[in-house]
C-alpha cells in the first residue's frame, strides 16, 4: 500500500458538482456489508490486531494540532481521530464514501447566512471522558490556537483559515464565525471548518497540574498577540514530543472519541480500548484494538500467513497478476482464512521537486525540465511489471482514484490516464537537447545557458537526488526502474532511501535557495484528500506559502485559479485549476497503487475507506 501524507480535497465549484457530492456520496452512521462482514453469531469482545497499511511507519504524534513535520494519515485519521473526534468526520464504514458524515461528528451541519459571510456551528453536546462538555468553547480553543500558531499548523494557507475569520464567539453549544467575504458553503465546510478539532478545557493549561482553563487560550485574543495560546501550544507540543507518556499522561487520557489509549510503545505497538463514556454511536464491540508495526512488507505478510494479525495487506510482489476485467486477484493467496478487499485511496501519488533547492532549484523551475522528468516515468509499464495490475497512473492534482470519481478533468484521462505527458524517453531527450543540453559522459549537460533557462549555468548536469520511503519492495523497485529509464534520456537520478517519518521530518517549506532546502526531490509517497480540506482544491499543496507546500512551488496563475475555486459556483472553476496543474507539473506524477487488504474470516464489518477513515467501532468477531 501507499504511504500517505494528509491532504485537502479539490474545491468543487459548480452547482452540478455539489449536487453530485450530495447525491452520490451521502453519508450516514450505518455500515455497509463488506466481504466477510456477515454470517456467524456476533461475539461481544475480543482483540483485533491490525497492521498499518505501509511498512516502516509508526504513529508518533498524539496532539491533534500539528506542524507539517508531524502530519500523516497514520497520526491523524488512524490514531488521533480514534480518540479525539474532529469537528466533522468524513467517510463511512464503506470503501468509497468520501462525503461528510454528520452522524459520526460532534457537530451538526453548519448554517450559513449573510450571503455566506456568517456561519453558525451547533455542537451536539457530547461529553469528554472527564465529564466536560464538547461545546463551542472546545472548537473555539482550537480556532484560537490556529490564530496564535499559524506557522506551526500544517493546514495553514495565507488568507485562508484563520485569516478569513474576522470574529468568532462561543455561547454554550453555539459557535458563530464571521468571515471576511462570502464563500462557497461546501468549500468552507469541507476545506475550512473540517480542519477544526475540538479540544477539552483540561488541555488549556501550561502544566500537568494546572487547573482546566488556567492557560487562558480559550479566552485569549489578538490584544496580547495571542500570548496565552502560544504558551499553551508550547506546553502541549512539548508534551506530545514525550511519546513514552502517551498512555499515562493525564492530558491525553481525556478523549471524546470511541477509543482511548491503553498502551503505547515508541516502537509503534499500540493498544486502544473502548471509551465507556463515548457519546456517539455505534459503541465499540471489540474489547481492544492492537496496531502493530512492521519494518518491511515481507515480515508483515509472514504475520498474515501465520495468523498473527487479523487485518493486513498483501504486498504487490505476493499477489498474482490481476485479471484485466477484475479488481481483485482470481485466487486468494491466503486461502479461506481471510477475505480480500480493495483499498483505493482518494488521493494522488508523486515525487515532489524542491523549487528552492540551491543545487537543482533553477532546473526544477523550468517547465521543460519537469516535463522531461515526467516523460521518463513509465507508469503503465511499472503497473504491469511491479504492481501486477494493482495501480492506476496519476496525471494531475485531482485524484484518479477511486476510478470514475467526479473530480478528474478530461486532460488527466488522456493517454491511458497518463495525462498530457505520457512515457517517452525519446521525447524527454529531445526536450533537453532543444533547450541547449547535450550528453557528456552519458549525462545531459547544459551547453547554452541562454536556452537552458534562468539560473542554469554552462556545465550544469541533469542530476537529481530523490529521497524515497524504504520498507516497501514494490516502491523501491518502482524508483529503481524510474532511475534506469531516466538514464536512457541522460538524466542521472540518485536514490536515497529513508524512513517515511524521517522524510516528513525534513519536509518543512524553506527559504529560496536556503541552507534548510537540502532535499532535492521528496518521494515519500502521496497525499490523501483527507485534510487539510476534503474537497480536492489545491490550497494546501500548491498555494504560495502554504503550510504543506514543502516543494515551495509558487505560481501566480495557480494561486488565482485556486482562489476561484473557493467562491465560484461554476464547474469550470475546478476544471480550470486541475487542468492547469496537470499541464504545469508542480509534482512528478507516479503510479497510485491500490491495496489488496486481507481480513480474518472471523472478523466482520471491516472496510477500507478511500479517505483512510478507520472505524473499528463497527468491527466484531463471530463464533
CATH code (residue 437)? 3.10.105.10
Residue 262 lies in a domain: no
Residue 272 lies in a domain: no
Inform me whether the pLDDT recorded for 260 exceeds 80.
yes
Task: Determine the pLDDT at residue 569.
Answer: 67
Task: Determine the pLDDT at residue 29.
Answer: 33
Which of 35-39, 199-203, 514-518 has the least mean pLDDT?
A: 35-39
Residue 487 lies in a domain: yes
* pLDDT bucket at 21, cuts 50 / 70 / 90: very low
The model's pLDDT over 311-355, given as tens digits with 9 standing for 90+, comes to: 999 988 899 999 988 999 999 999 999 999 999 889 999 999 999
Inform me whether the pLDDT recorded for 17 exceeds 50.
no
Distance CA 119, CA 166 (A): 12
Instruction: Return the percentage of the chain with pLDDT > 70, whole number.
Output: 94
Task: Determine the pLDDT at residue 38.
Answer: 53
Q: Which helix (H) or strand (E) element contains residue 437? A: strand 437-440
Compare 25 and 299 and report the one with higher pLDDT: 299
* pLDDT bucket at 35, cuts 50 / 70 / 90: very low
Compare 15 and 418 and report the one with higher pLDDT: 418
Strand partners, 338: 600
Task: Determine the pLDDT at residue 424.
Answer: 98
Averaged pLDDT, 362-389:
97
H-helix segments, 345-472: 361-364, 367-375, 379-385, 410-417, 425-434, 449-452
With residues binned 3-state (H G I as helix, E B as strand, rest as coil), the percentages for the chain, rounded to 5, are 30, 20, 50
* pLDDT bucket at 194, cuts 50 / 70 / 90: very high
- Number of structural domains the chain divides into: 1
* pLDDT bucket at 39, cuts 50 / 70 / 90: low
Residue 181 lies in a domain: no
Averaged pLDDT, 430-457:
98
Which of 11-25, 156-170, 405-419 has the least mean pLDDT?
A: 11-25
Sign of CA dihedral 307, 309, 310, 313: negative
Q: What phi-psi label fits residue 605: left (phi over 0), alpha (psi between -120 and 50 degrees) or beta? A: left
Residue 551, domain extent: 347-593
Q: Which helix (H) or strand (E) element contains residue 396? A: none
Inform me whether the pLDDT recorded for 243 exceeds 90.
yes
Residue 313 lies in a domain: no
Q: How many residues does the chain have?
A: 623
Give 384's contacts (C-beta < 8 A, 6+ positions apart): none
The angle subtended at Cα 10 by Cα 587 and Cα 74, nearest 5°, is: 75
* pLDDT bucket at 527, cuts 50 / 70 / 90: confident
Inform me whether the pLDDT recorded for 142 exceeds 90.
yes
Task: Determine the pLDDT at residue 471.
Answer: 83
* DSSP code of residue 104: G
Task: Determine the pLDDT at residue 403.
Answer: 78
Residue 566 lies in a domain: yes
Compare 488 and 73 and report the one with higher pLDDT: 488
**In b/e form, how buried is each residue of 51-87, taking b as 16+ CB within 10 angstroms?**
bbbbbbbbbbbbbbbbbbbbbbbbbbbbbbbbbbbbb
Distance CA 179, CA 193 (A): 12
Task: Determine the pLDDT at residue 418.
Answer: 97
Cell triple for residue 605? 464489518
Task: Determine the pLDDT at residue 1.
Answer: 41
Inform me whether the pLDDT recorded for 26 exceeds 70.
no
Mean pLDDT of the chain: 90
* pLDDT bucket at 34, cuts 50 / 70 / 90: very low
Across 277-324, where does the E strand assignment appear? 288-292, 311-313
Dihedral angle over CA of 61, 64, 69, 73, nearest 10: 80
Amino acid at each position: 500500500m501507499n504511504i500517505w501524507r494528509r491532504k485537502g480535497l479539490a474545491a468543487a465549484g459548480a452547482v452540478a458538482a455539489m449536487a453530485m457530492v450530495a447525491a452520490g456520496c451521502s453519508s450516514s452512521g450505518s455500515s455497509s456489508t463488506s466481504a466477510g462482514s456477515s454470517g456467524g453469531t456476533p461475539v461481544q469482545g475480543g482483540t483485533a490486531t491490525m497492521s498499518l497499511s505501509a511498512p516502516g511507519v509508526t504513529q508518533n504524534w498524539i496532539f491533534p494540532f500539528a506542524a507539517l513535520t508531524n502530519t500523516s494519515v497514520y497520526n491523524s485519521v488512524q490514531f488521533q481521530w480514534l480518540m479525539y473526534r474532529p469537528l466533522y468526520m468524513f467517510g463511512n464504514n464503506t470503501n468509497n464514501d468520501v462525503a461528510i458524515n454528520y452522524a459520526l461528528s460532534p457537530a451538526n451541519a453548519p448554517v450559513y447566512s449573510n450571503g455566506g459571510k456568517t456561519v453558525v456551528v451547533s455542537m451536539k453536546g457530547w461529553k469528554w471522558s472527564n465529564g466536560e462538555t464538547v461545546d463551542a468553547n472546545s472548537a473555539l480553543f482550537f480556532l484560537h490556537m490556529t490564530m496564535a500558531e499559524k506557522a506551526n499548523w500544517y493546514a495553514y494557507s495565507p488568507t485562508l483559515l484563520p485569516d478569513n475569520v474576522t470574529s468568532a464567539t462561543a455561547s454554550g453549544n453555539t459557535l458563530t464565525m464571521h468571515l471576511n467575504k462570502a464563500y462557497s458553503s461546501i468549500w468552507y465546510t469541507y476545506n475550512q471548518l473540517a480542519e477544526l478539532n475540538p479540544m477539552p478545557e483540561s488541555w488549556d493549561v501550561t502544566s500537568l497540574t494546572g487547573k482546566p482553563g488556567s492557560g487562558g487560550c480559550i479566552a485569549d485574543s489578538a490584544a496580547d498577540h495571542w500570548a496565552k495560546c502560544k504558551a499553551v501550544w508550547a506546553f502541549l507540543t512539548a508534551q506530545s514530543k514525550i511519546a513514552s507518556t502517551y498512555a499515562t499522561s493525564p492530558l491525553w487520557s481525556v478523549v471524546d472519541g470511541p477509543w482511548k489509549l491503553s498502551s503505547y510503545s515508541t516502537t509503534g505497538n499500540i493498544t486502544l480500548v473502548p471509551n465507556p463514556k463515548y457519546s456517539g454511536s455505534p459503541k465499540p464491540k471489540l474489547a481492544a484494538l492492537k496496531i502493530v508495526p512492521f519494518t518491511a512488507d515481507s515480515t508483515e505478510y509472514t504475520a498474515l500467513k501465520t495468523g498473527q494479525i487479523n487485518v493486513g495487506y498483501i504486498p504487490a510482489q505476493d499477489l498474482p497478476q490481476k485479471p484485466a476485467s477484475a479488481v481483485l486477484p482470481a485466487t486468494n493467496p491466503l486461502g479461506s482464512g481471510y477475505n480480500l478487499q480493495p483499498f483505493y485511496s482518494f488521493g494522488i501519488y508523486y515525487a515532489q521537486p524542491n523549487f528552492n533547492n540551491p543545487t537543482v532549484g533553477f532546473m526544477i523551475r523550468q517547465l521543460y525540465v519537469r516535463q522531461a522528468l515526467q516523460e521518463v516515468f513509465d507508469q503503465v509499464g511499472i503497473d504491469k511489471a511491479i504492481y501486477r495490475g494493482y495501480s492506476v497512473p496519476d496525471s494531475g492534482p485531482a485524484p484518479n482514484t477511486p476510478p470514475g470519481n467526479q473530480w478528474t478533468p478530461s486532460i488527466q484521462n488522456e493517454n491511458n490516464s497518463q495525462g498530457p505527458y505520457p512515457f517517452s524517453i525519446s521525447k524527454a531527450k529531445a526536450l533537453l537537447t532543444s533547450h541547449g543540453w547535450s550528453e557528456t559522459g552519458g549525462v545531459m549537460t547544459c551547453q547554452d545557458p541562454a536556452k537552458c533557462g534562468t539560473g542554469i549555468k554552462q556545465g550544469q548536469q541533469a542530476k537529481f537526488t530523490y529521497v524515497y520511503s524504504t520498507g516497501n519492495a514494490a516502491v523501491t523497485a518502482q524508483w529503481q526502474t524510474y532511475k534506469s529509464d531516466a538514464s536512457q534520456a541522460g538524466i542521472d537520478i540518485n536514490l536515497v532511501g529513508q524512513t517515511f517519518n524521517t522524510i516528513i521530518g525534513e519536509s518543512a517549506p524553506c527559504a529560496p535557495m536556503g541552507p534548510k532546502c537540502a532535499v532535492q526531490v521528496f518521494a515519500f509517497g502521496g497525499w490523501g484528500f483527507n485534510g487539510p480540506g476534503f474537497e480536492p482544491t489545491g490550497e494546501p499543496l500548491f498555494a504560495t506559502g502554504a503550510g504543506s507546500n514543502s516543494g515551495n512551488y509558487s505560481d501566480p496563475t495557480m494561486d488565482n485559479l485556486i482562489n476561484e475555486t473557493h467562491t465560484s459556483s461554476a464547474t469550470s472553476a475546478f476544471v480550470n485549476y486541475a487542468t492547469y496543474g496537470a499541464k504545469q507539473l508542480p509534482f512528478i506524477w507516479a503510479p497510485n497503487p491500490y491495496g489488496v487488504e486481507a481480513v480474518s474470516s472471523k472478523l466482520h464489518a471491516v472496510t477500507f475507506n478511500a479517505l483512510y477513515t478507520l472505524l473499528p467501532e463497527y468491527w466484531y468477531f463471530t463464533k
